[in-house]
Chains A and B, each alone.
Chain A
Amino acid sequence: MDADRPASMAGRSPLRETLVAWSFALPFLLLFVVFMAGPIAAALVTSFTDLRVTDIRNPFSVNFVALENYLDVLGDERFQKAAANTTVFVVVGVPLTMALGLAAAVGLNQGVVRFRTIFRVGFYLPVVTSIVAIAVVWRLLLGAEVGLVNGILAGFGVDGPGWLSDERYALWSIIAMAAWRNLGFLMVIFLAGLQTIPGDLYEAAEVDGANRWQRFRGITLPLMRPTLLFGAVITGIGYVQFLEEVYVMTEGGPLNSTLSLALYAYDQFSFGNYGYTAAIAFILFVAIALLTIVQFRLFRTET
């Protein structure tokens, strides 16, 4: 990134330019420090204390407990269950959503000239919809007794399970819903990436006798690598901290089978265990950083 340009306030002193620049930055920075940077620092400090909701107005009763919160949390069975669920959600959900998003993008880019807008708006609709509204519909779609999905299955003589009420299926149902909801976002990013690939590359490959799949493997995938990386990172960051989906669909149940790390942190927040909340939140942060590093390795261009 080439952010540095030659000083462009022609003929004025660097000091003056600095003052002007900071005057532009000031409103943002004030809000940023108070509502973003400050809280991050406060959360880090809190994660090493036994702060509870009852201590908010009386900070002197708070004790430093070193790593105790982290150790407690890591040893908690619910945490381990939540970590396992979150891992499954990310490891299955991210590739699934990426594959569907890429398929939709390639399909739209290749064959569809007419009705492009309808497809684009339709595929994007779930992305812009409130999770609460989505939950209302999906809980009805997936209901065990009166759900539409089981209604359709019954038409084929299949007795559908309780997609959200059976612990064997609940997490997979949530993953399916997340993929359904987010594939449109990746489709838009991937479409933009596809449009930067010169068309004559495909023509040359076609002349050489490469079939559709070979062209996809040989041209599309390698040239899309930076876009795929971007999509993977954005989706990964979102999926590691999935919370609202399960909060509104299952509240982590049944039997903690859909409990996510972020929901576990939120639970501790509602119980007033702020030290635990902060510790779990920072464990999540580390998880996101690690995942991002892994993704950069996976997609690194061979040189």
Chain B
Amino acid sequence: MSSVAATREKSSAPPAGTSARGGGGWWIYVLLVIGLILLVGPFIWMVLGSIKTTGELRQVPPTWLPENPTLANYGELLDRLSFARFFFNSAVVATLVTAGNVVFCSMLGYALAKLSFPGKRVLFALVLGTLMVPSIVTFMPLFVLVANLGLVNTHAGLVLPFLVGAFGVFLMRQFIGGIPDELLDAARVDGAGEHYIFWRIVMPLCGPAIATLTILTFLGSWNSFLWPLVVATSEQMYTLPVAIALFATGQQETNIALLMAGSVVVIVPVLIVFILLQRFFTQGIAMTGIK
């Protein structure tokens, strides 16, 4: 399967048949704009809500634009609720999980794509098979394991179970498979070892795939909720989603404006990453999805 290289070329080419028919009529635009409003509207409402007072948010009928815009909610997040600490926890966990996936999945991906060894097919099938296993299957045994290792309420407990994943192996194997063998053989003739080849030749060529894996893994970890909810038992270890969920159900429940501001804080970093790297994002999903 050499679809990776082909896909990359295709996605940079103009979309087939678009220019040929010269646009599809104004009603397509109208429908798409309606869709866009429905999808983005709630976010705009959230941002506007985060600079309203709770009193205004409880008004009937609801207001669109804030009557007395205020940044007090954000100040309160920082002052009272140690949001900086939650932000730090989320960032540390997501960064380590992402680094682990990029390094370890690429290494296995290289072995699967470019080396031959007994057990290769079985190994690949086994790893891919776990994609179909619902996460609730491993949830309980993982918790028992982490508890017995004494890792409850530690960063290690949040990170270790997610350092590797089947998806990363699949993505990296597909991409590395598209790198020409001649390139690697030339290095071998010059006496380069496999680890040298992997780190110095293969990895630098994997930019787009690594970018994709980085974004997807980082997002997944940043947004992960149920595992940190169970493992982070004290406020010191909360990640952002956990903190917001607990405040949403706890005594802060009535303070909707504060919740809105907290939600904005969760979303803004991913939004920035996503807008900056959205080319890789969409390409990468296409890379895995086409064939």
Write the residues of chain A forming the contact surface with B, with a CB cutoff of 8 angstroms: 1-10, 14, 17-18, 20-25, 27-29, 31-32, 34-40, 42-43, 46, 56-57, 103-104, 107-113, 117-126, 128-138, 140-141, 145-148, 151, 154-155, 180, 183-185, 188-189, 191-203, 206, 212, 226-227, 230-231, 234, 237, 240-241, 243-244, 247-248, 262, 265-266, 269, 274, 277-278, 280-282, 284-285, 288-289, 292
Contact = CB atoms under 8 A, between A and B. Distances in A.
The main secondary structure of chain A at its interface with chain B is: helix
A31 B136 CA distance: 18
Contacts of A198: 16-17
A24 B110 contact: yes
11 contacts: A4-B116, A8-B184, A17-B115, A21-B111, A28-B104, A32-B164, A40-B141, A56-B147, A104-B35, A151-B60, A281-B134
A123 B136 contact: no
Contact of B42 (A34, A137, A196, A278): A137
Interface in B226-248: 226, 240-242, 244-245, 248
A148 B62 contact: yes
A221 to B, nearest CB: 15
Instruction: Name the residue among A34, A145, A212 with the largest chain B CB count within 10 angstroms.
Output: A34
Given A24-B194, A111-B28, A180-B39, A133 B282 contact: no
Interface string B78-105: 0000000000000000000000100111
The main secondary structure of chain B at its interface with chain A is: helix
A17 B107 contact: no
A22 B245 CA distance: 43
B289 A138 contact: no
B117 A18 contact: yes
Interface string B113-132: 11111101101101100111
A130 B223 contact: yes
Range for the number of chain B residues in contact with chain A: 35 or more
Given A8-B115, A21-B111, A129-B267, A145 B60 contact: yes
B222 A136 contact: no
Contacts of B222: 130
A35 B256 contact: no
Contacts of B219: 128
